[in-house]
Structure 1
């Protein structure tokens, strides 16, 4: 049982929450009034739908890398995630998916729940690869996606809609239960709108890796701002200027935060791997040798503090890191504190630093290893 100021779907209460693997009850303390005697804030655990690595481990390594990533991010309040791949050779992608399959099937002790895969590439534009290596597949096929899906469940897939054949693929991917996201795209505003009409559901790291908003050529970013219900954004305050984040918050009702975290997350400055690329952590960000941003070292607790620093109230910031990503991929028993939901919980002090994290009721050791 925990006591404190608890965020529920109906709003804040001061009281207690009882749980084992799932939440058993949430009770208000009639003596507490509006105060919070414990000084603790209790939120739903964070859900990160775009994470490549942490603690020196990269999802593309396969093997036990996914477990290392899940444990590292759990210490920052992430209780569920999608392991995210990179554009790579077919063999490399299959190796990564086989490694993720084991972590998805059985949550590692002390780690976040791996809900499935975000396949970021190889179905991207060669003109908007960003930090992705030059291994984009010329044309995606349903057969190829199915063969990947057979190795590990794909929950989200990023593609460039303007590439020949991709638009026709979207309804079939939707039928498979995959959330199609537009990203690493050189497409036009009209391409973006056509993809949404075909069943695309979101946008990958909004503003990054896509045609920008221009008043005569609104681009993929413009399609998102004008029409999207959901889009992910990296709120590390380096990938996107705070003014652009504010614009997106006003335009997109369920804009949610992701880390796009790399193997350099939680590590000292130096050289690290991002798929087949070498990246360099310095001054709180990760870059290619060319100087281009290449993922981040963001954690979800810092994303929360950044959102609050931009002026969001704590409940709104929490929703954008828990409730909205859960709803986006259809996880109705996560991302909210209600009886019967999984006991995925993060407890914060007055400085919004995690002091306790529970994943499906398991208390996570927050010390670094």
Structure 2
């Protein structure tokens, strides 16, 4: 049986097109063609776009990757995100022991080929304890051969890897060695000054992790890592949940970049997304409070948000153009890790496309 979807606007090749119809057969796109003048579609959403891409998902569906390094846990996280409109993601392991990092790498390798699994994001442990956020500083350490071996193992298996590190902690020669493996090196949880950040960029840093957060503020004579990131041509993720960064500051960051298509949305999602309202991390309870995730000290501890909500916030609260916001959740994060963005095209399953109404709420296909 063929179902006909006729969106008002269809995302193709980085922009919206109109007047097109999408035929769905056996749960996948069979063809895309012009909509006939007298055809009555089965579904007429406002938008049809690829399912979203999130490069920073610590957990979902009641599971944290840090707590359960297994293919089953990865499957749970991916499935929970797909139910919420994020079809493609990097499960993210935050600062932990070398043993846990090795176990996670092996689980990712075993799970490789799972629909929606793009690779892995290792956020730490080579970070600045002064900017630890919710990470456990006792596990933070200088770059070591154990991490380099884990990165080599993942890359030898053909798995995309993003590594967040602090450029004042990891010297440029090691940043260069890691980048030459094909690892996407992202700077974050850092108090680097402008010179240290520039040295890291020259060595191979190509991205920044959650702009503003776990970074010192910039001043008129000390741009630091934040100002240097904004003025660079590197990619940068940002959390648009209304708790991590205020709406005006998101707008300033996006408008300050010298190149378009360099800033993308991340959720920083934790186990509560698609799961219960609390979980344990590093032996401490993390709980949802007024829409934010906080620890016992009431400090932010990751995010209780999905990427579709971040996309909606970017349009409705930050005020960015719809086309720019959609790119920030689809094309740009894929480009940041060197992947061809998923497209609304024949062969894509309904899990890999997203229908939205005029308020950017999801519509079942």
User: TM-score, structure 1 length as denominator?
Assistant: 0.86
Q: How many Å apart are 1:178 and its aligned residue?
A: 0.9
Q: How many Å apart are 1:197 and its aligned residue?
A: 1.5
Aligned match of 1:145:
148
Aligned partner (choices 51, 62, 71) of residue 69 of structure 2: 62
Aligned partner (choices 189, 192, 199) of residue 194 of structure 1: 199
Q: Secondary structure at the match of 1:115?
A: coil
Aligned partner (choices 27, 44, 47) of residue 41 of structure 1: 47
Q: Return the alpha-carbon distance in structure 2 between the equivalents of residues 89 and 39 of structure 1.
A: 46
Let me know the Cα RMSD of the aligned residues.
2.6
Please state if 1:301 is matched with 2:304.
no
Q: How many Å apart are 1:340 and its aligned residue?
A: 7.2
Aligned match of 1:8:
12
Aligned match of 1:355:
363
Q: Secondary structure at the match of 1:69?
A: helix
Aligned match of 1:237:
242
Aligned match of 1:155:
161
Q: Secondary structure at the match of 2:49?
A: strand
Aligned partner (choices 90, 93, 115) of residue 85 of structure 1: 93
CA contact (8 A) 2:168 2:192 kept: yes
How many residues are aligned here?
Answer: 348
**What is the correspondence of 1:1-369 to structure 2 with a 5 Å cutoff?**
2-5=5-8, 6-9=10-13, 10-18=15-23, 25-29=31-35, 31=37, 38-60=44-66, 61-63=68-70, 64-107=72-115, 113-141=116-144, 144-150=147-153, 153-163=159-169, 165-252=170-257, 253=260, 254-269=262-277, 271-274=278-281, 276-309=283-316, 310-332=318-340, 334-338=341-345, 344-356=352-364
Q: Secondary structure at the match of 1:105?
A: coil
CA gap of 1:18–1:328, structure 2 versus 1, over 3 A, is farther
Deviations 1:8-40 (A, max 9, x none): 1243223222467986543232638xxx98244
User: TM-score, structure 2 length as denominator?
Assistant: 0.87
CA gap of 1:199–1:342, structure 2 versus 1, over 3 A, is farther
Gaps of 5+ in 2: none
Q: Secondary structure at the match of 1:318?
A: helix
Q: Return the alpha-carbon distance in structure 2 between the equivalents of residues 203 and 276 of structure 1.
A: 28
Deviations 1:179-210 (A, max 9, x none): 10000111101111111111211100000011
CA contact (8 A) 1:47 1:321 kept: yes
Q: Return the alpha-carbon distance in structure 2 between the equivalents of residues 191 and 133 of structure 1.
A: 24
CA gap of 1:25–1:169, structure 2 versus 1, over 3 A, is farther
Q: How many Å apart are 1:138 and its aligned residue?
A: 2.8
